Each structure stands twice: as C-alpha cells, then as structure tokens.
C-alpha cells in the first residue's frame, strides 16, 4: 500500500520496490528519451493499477465454457486528462490497463519567469463528469498547472478527480491541499524542495524535454 505523510493528508506515495527501482533509472541524467519514455509509462501503469483498486463495478453474470458464474465489470467510463506536454508521457502506460478510456487534453505551459501556468489548449469529452478522471502529469512543482487543470475540470462538473504524478514537491502538494482538498494526489516520490527556478530537487530535470528529446532546445 502507498505510504502517507502527516503533513499532507491528500498525498499517497508509492514506495513499492519496483516503482522505486524504475524511478531511480528515470532520474539518472544518462537515461535517454527512449528508455525515459518506457520507464515513465511503466511506472504510470503500476501506479494506476494500484490506485484503481476501488473503482466502481457492477455485477455481471458470465457464461464460461462450463457454466454461468458471477462476475463484475467497471461500471463507469474512465477519463485521462494529461497535462501537455509531459502528461502524454504517462498516457500509453495507463491506456494499456484501460484501453477504453477517453482522453481529454489540457495544454498548459509554465511561464519561464513568473512560473505561472499559461493555458493554450483544452478539449474534453462532453460527458467528462461521468466517471473517474485521472489528471496526469509527471511533475507537481509549484502546483500551479495542476490547480489550473483541476479548476477547469471542476467547472465542467467533474467531482471524482485524482491527480497522478511521478515526482511531487512539498510546495505543490500543499497548494493542492489548500485549493482542492478533495482531490487525492498519487506520486512515486515526494522530493525535498523547489529551487530558485521552481525546479524540483533532486527531481529529474525538465520532464517534457527528457520525454521528447528537446533538452537545450
């Protein structure tokens, strides 16, 4: 089971040995985009496998080759809401578990100087509020991007929201707790702090650049 932190009742950290093994490989500066993408998707799948354990189901009887038995099916559609760009790096790993999931996109880029979120694109299914919505982004730094995305989804009527990130900074978890205490945050690591450029330390650098091979561009 994921671990908790007394400072942040909204946070669950996956301390599973396999997730931590893959996260350490991902953090390594020598890991190239091909492996970075594979590891990120694998971790995302492992995290979502665990956090979806109580998703709503409905009973369904199943005819096996021998007899009929009681089964169950997920009862509501699942929607993924990756925050562009870097959230896309976790989407395939989650889709392997939920191939029927809908995907809504929200494009947000941090302003380099103010670190405030700038929203440049949004597109969600009409009935996005029907069923659980997983907001997906590897990095929760100041929390500005996540708060902005969740504000938007709540305006669309979503109530069953969960934030899935890879590395979280205490500052970002605190901001989400203040602004959206009803939204649980799932992470593979709670790192030490933000630096003067609002980068997570120790972190893994710029996730979008490492996924898409644009470091230094």
- Rounded to whole angstroms, the Cα distance separating 198 from 116 reads 10
End-to-end CA distance of the chain: 40
Q: Which residue in 50, 154, 199, 212 binds ligand URA (CB under 6 A)?
A: 199
> Is residue 136 a contact point for ligand URA (CB under 6 A)?
no
CB atoms closer than 10 angstroms to residue 99 = 7
Chain CA centroid to CA 86, Å: 10
Angle between helices 17-27 and 33-51 (to 10 degrees): 150
CB atoms closer than 10 angstroms to residue 169 = 27
The token pair at 132 is 């659980």
> Is residue 208 a contact point for ligand PRP (CB under 6 A)?
yes
Out of ligand URA, ligand PRP, none, what residue 83 binds, judged by CB under 5 to 8 A for its kind, is ligand PRP
- Cβ atoms of 41 and 89 within 8 Å: the answer is yes
> Is residue 147 a contact point for ligand URA (CB under 6 A)?
no
Residues 62-91 that bind ligand URA (CB under 6 A): 86
Out of ligand PRP, ligand URA, none, what residue 122 binds, judged by CB under 5 to 8 A for its kind, is none
> Is residue 10 a contact point for ligand PRP (CB under 6 A)?
no
Chain CA centroid to CA 212, Å: 18
Number of residues binding to ligand URA, judged by CB under 6 A:
9
Number of residues binding to ligand PRP, judged by CB under 6 A:
24
> Is residue 167 a contact point for ligand PRP (CB under 6 A)?
no
> Is residue 109 a contact point for ligand PRP (CB under 6 A)?
yes
Stretch binding ligand PRP (CB under 6 A), from 28-36, 53-61, 97-105, 108-116: 108-116
> Is residue 92 a contact point for ligand URA (CB under 6 A)?
no
In terms of Cα–Cα distance, which of 6, 23, 21 is closest to 187? 23
Tokens 């979280």 belong to 168
The token pair at 89 is 């790096």
Name the residues that contact ligand URA, by CB under 6 A.
86, 139, 141, 199-200, 203, 206-208
Name the residues that contact ligand PRP, by CB under 6 A.
83-86, 108-110, 115, 117, 137-146, 172, 198, 206-208
């Amino acid at each position: 089971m994921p671990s908790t932190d007394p400072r942040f009742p909204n946070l669950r950290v996956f301390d599973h040995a396999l997730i931590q093994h893959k996260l350490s490989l991902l953090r390594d500066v020598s890991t190239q985009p091909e492996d970075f993408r594979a590891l990120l998707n694998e971790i995302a799948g492992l995290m979502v496998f665990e956090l979806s354990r109580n998703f709503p189901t409905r009973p369904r009887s199943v005819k096996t080759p021998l007899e009929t038995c009681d089964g169950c099916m997920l009862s509501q559609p699942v929607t993924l809401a990756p925050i562009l760009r870097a959230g896309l790096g976790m989407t395939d790993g989650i889709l392997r578990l939920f191939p029927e999931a809908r995907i809504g996109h929200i494009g947000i880029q941090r302003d380099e100087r103010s670190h405030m979120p700038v929203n440049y694109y949004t597109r969600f299914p009409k009935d996005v509020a029907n069923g659980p919505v997983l907001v997906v982004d590897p990095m929760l730094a100041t929390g500005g991007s996540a708060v902005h995305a969740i504000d938007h989804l709540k305006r669309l009527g979503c109530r069953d929201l969960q934030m899935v990130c890879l590395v979280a900074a205490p500052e970002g978890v605190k901001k989400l707790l203040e602004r959206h205490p009803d939204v649980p945050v799932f992470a593979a690591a709670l790192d030490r702090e933000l630096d003067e450029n609002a980068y997570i330390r120790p972190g893994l650098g710029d996730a979008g650049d490492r996924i898409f091979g644009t470091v230094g561009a």
